[in-house]
Structure formats: C-alpha cells, structure tokens
C-alpha cells in the first residue's frame, strides 16, 4: 500500500470515512480524488460513495474483505490498449463482473505556474494517450501511479517547470492553474471500466442484452485455439473481444480473455461454452452483466 501526497490525503480521508460507513453505497476505485476512475464511479452510480484506493490491489481487497460492496476498475483504453496487470488481477480476485461503464477521457495540463512547463507527470496510461502532444511540445513525461495523484503531487511540489496531466477539474480540486485541455491524441479517447462485486448478478435472464466475460487456457496442441473457438461460430455467438496473455513467464502457457454477447441460460451460449470447456485446459467465467453500449 502506497501513500497519497498531503494535498490529496485530507480528501481521501473524508471520502474513505463516508464510504466505509455505508458499504452498500461504497464503490472502490484506484487513484486519488478527481481521477478518471473517480469520475467513472460517479457517472456509473450517482448515488455511490467513491472510495479512493492507492492501487488496483487495494481496490479489489476493499471489496473482497467486505469493506465496500463494489469496485470500478479500468480494463482497456481505445488509444492505449488494455490496462496493465488487469488480466491477471481479475481472475485471481475471486470477484465477479456485474457491470461496465464507458468514460470519455479528457486531459488538462496544470501546474503551480513556476516557470514554463518542461515536464508533465501522470499515469503511464495517460502519458501514452498524450504521447504525440507531449512530443510536439517538447515536454518530458514523468510516470506517476495516478492522474489526479500527479496533480496533488504537483500542488505540493516546488519544482520549477513541473506540471500534471489530469482530468481538467483536478486543477480546481488541488488549486492549480489550468493551462489548457484536449492534450489526448484523439477525440475518440475512451476507457472501458468493469464493476466488480463479491457475488454475481442473481438474475441475468432479466437483462435484455447481456455480455459475458471469461478467461480460458488452451491445450498445447496444434490448432488448439481454432478448436476452442469453433463452438462460438457454429452457434452464432458474437465474440466482441479476444486477447491473449502469458502466465508464469514460460511462454508455454497462453491464456485468453474474451467477451461475448449473451449469457449462460441461452442455449446457443451454453452449447458454445460446453464446446470451449471440452477443448481447453481451464475455463473461468468472470461475470455476465448488462451492456453499457450496444455491440454490433
């Protein structure tokens, strides 16, 4: 567990006290107050009490330990791809995906006005999403654990030329000068979040257009992936996402993360998952939940 800078800590303490006093409304997120994940939590459930957590592990543990009922975690970005470590953390967490949320991502450049900006601090995902703008303006990136946390750090720093890339409202939150907005490299910059809980949704059949997320490991044989996915094609199931990742560092065991349209209980989905189970070494369903935006 890490620590927040002084400018963020008093906000963290107040939000933490409120969320822990009402776990049913508590919604854990990674980052400092004002981070994109904080915005996502408030948009996803305006009645929630967002709980700032220093790391993804801390946010997951807050739910797993029962301190709050849910967490909201970024999983992928339209510009910079999947969020590091999430594919490992989700299966190991023992939690279930019960929802998703899409948040348009916008960044502002903010500082204490201590000279011209030469360095910009932010989360590595944010720095990647603003890479071209930083290069064009001769500003060096500086990695931090969080976007809003970087703004709080800058607020507490006397370093000349240091700025933060963070959601624009973080400038007001931490008393910084906002020099401009729109530093992201494309207007379609969007992050997908998933909502995690200790128990799965009780009645997925009531959801008009569900999604199901799962991970699986293929057998180490020729055409293993082709055979594993055949059931989705023959049953007419739309797979909207498929990503591979290595486990154990051996380059011998490959796991896959997948999203499909539909949920168990639908005969087509059941048949496809039965075929997948037969053709793979392991299969773990991470959750079925309502689509936040329709897939084709």
Catalytic residues: 191, 193
Distance (Å, rounded) from C-alpha 213 to C-alpha 261? 9
Instruction: From residue 115, give the alpha-carbon distance in Å to each of 160, 168, 175, 216.
Output: 6, 20, 16, 52
- Nearest Cα neighbor of 242 from 274, 214, 210 is 214
- Residue 267 vs residues 99, 231, 260: alpha-carbon distances, Å: 23, 12, 14
- Phi-psi category of residue 40: left, alpha or beta, with phi > 0 → left and psi -120 to 50 → alpha: alpha
């Amino acid at each position: 567990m890490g620590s927040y800078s002084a400018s963020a800590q008093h906000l963290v303490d107040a939000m933490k006290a409120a969320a822990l006093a009402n776990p049913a409304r508590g919604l854990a997120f990674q980052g400092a107050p004002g981070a994109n994940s904080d915005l996502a939590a408030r948009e996803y459930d305006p009645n929630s009490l967002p709980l700032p957590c220093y790391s993804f592990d801390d946010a997951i543990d807050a739910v797993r330990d029962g301190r709050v009922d849910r967490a909201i975690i970024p999983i992928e970005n339209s510009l910079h791809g999947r969020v590091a470590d999430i594919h490992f953390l989700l299966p190991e967490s023992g939690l279930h995906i019960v929802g998703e949320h899409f948040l348009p991502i916008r960044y502002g450049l903010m500082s204490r006005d201590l000279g011209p900006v030469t360095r910009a601090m932010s989360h590595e995902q944010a720095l990647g999403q603003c890479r071209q703008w930083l290069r064009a303006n001769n500003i060096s990136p500086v990695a931090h654990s969080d976007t809003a946390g970087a703004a709080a750090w800058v607020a507490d720093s006397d370093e000349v030329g240091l700025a933060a890339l963070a959601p624009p409202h973080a400038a007001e939150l931490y008393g910084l000068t906002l020099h401009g907005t729109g530093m992201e490299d494309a207007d379609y910059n969007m992050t997908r979040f998933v909502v995690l809980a200790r128990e799965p949704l009780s009645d997925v059949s009531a959801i008009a257009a569900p999604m199901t997320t799962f991970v699986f490991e293929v057998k180490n044989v020729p055409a293993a992936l082709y055979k594993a996915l055949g059931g989705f094609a023959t049953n007419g199931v739309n797979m909207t996402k498929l990503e591979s990742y290595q486990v154990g560092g051996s380059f011998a065991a490959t796991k896959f993360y997948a999203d499909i349209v539909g949920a168990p209980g639908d005969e087509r989905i059941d048949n496809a998952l039965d075929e997948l189970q037969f053709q793979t070494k392991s299969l773990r369903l991470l959750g079925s939940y309502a689509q936040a935006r329709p897939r084709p």
